[in-house]
Amino acid sequence: MRVEREMAALGYIPNAAARSLITRRTQMLGLVVSNITNGFYPEIIDAITSCALDHGYTVLVGSAGERPESQAAYLRLMAEQRVDGVILTSTLFGDASDLAALVRTGLPIVLANRVWADLPVDGVSLDNIAAGEVATNHLIAHGRSAIAYVGGQAETATDQGRRAGYERALRAARLPPFAVPYVPGAFTREHGYDATRRLLDARRRPDGIVAADDTIALGCLDALAEAGADVPGQVSVVGFDDIPAASLRPVWLTTVSTAAREMGTRAVELLLERLRGRSEPPRREVLPAEIVVRGTCGPHEAPHPSPRQTSLSSRRPARQHARVPALIGGPS
pLDDT for 329: 27
Mean pLDDT of 222-235: 97
Residue 193 scores a pLDDT above 80: yes
- Give 141's pLDDT tier (boundaries 50, 70, 90): very high
Reported as a single tens digit per residue, the pLDDT across 29-49 is 999 998 898 999 999 999 999
How high is the mean pLDDT of the chain?
82
The share of the chain scoring above pLDDT 90, in percent, equals 59
Residues forming beta bridges with residue 87, ordered by sequence position: 31, 110
- For the 2-126+261-287 domain, the top CATH level (class) is alpha beta
Mean pLDDT of 169-184: 81
- For the 128-259+289-323 domain, the top CATH level (class) is alpha beta
Same fold for the pair 2-126+261-287 and 128-259+289-323: yes
Q: At what angle do helices 260-275 and 41-54 cross, to 10 degrees?
A: 40
pLDDT for 73: 87
Reported as a single tens digit per residue, the pLDDT across 304-320 is 444 333 333 333 333 33
pLDDT for 241: 96
pLDDT for 311: 33
Higher per-residue confidence, 309 vs 180: 180
- Give 152's pLDDT tier (boundaries 50, 70, 90): very high
Residues 153 and 313: beta-carbon distance below 8 Å: no
Task: Say what the alpha-carbon torsion angle 118, 121, 123, 128 is, to the nearest 10 degrees.
Answer: -10
Reported as a single tens digit per residue, the pLDDT across 99-110 is 777 778 889 999
288-312 exposure pattern, b = at least 16 Cβ within 10 A, e = fewer: bbbbbbbbbbbeeebeebeeebeeb
Please report, for the chain, the start and end positions of each structural domain, with discontinuous segments joined by +: 2-126+261-287, 128-259+289-323
pLDDT for 116: 75
Reported as a single tens digit per residue, the pLDDT across 199-221 is 999 888 999 999 999 999 999 99
Is there a cis peptide before residue 244, judged by omega within 30 degrees of 0? no
- Give 57's pLDDT tier (boundaries 50, 70, 90): very high
pLDDT for 234: 96
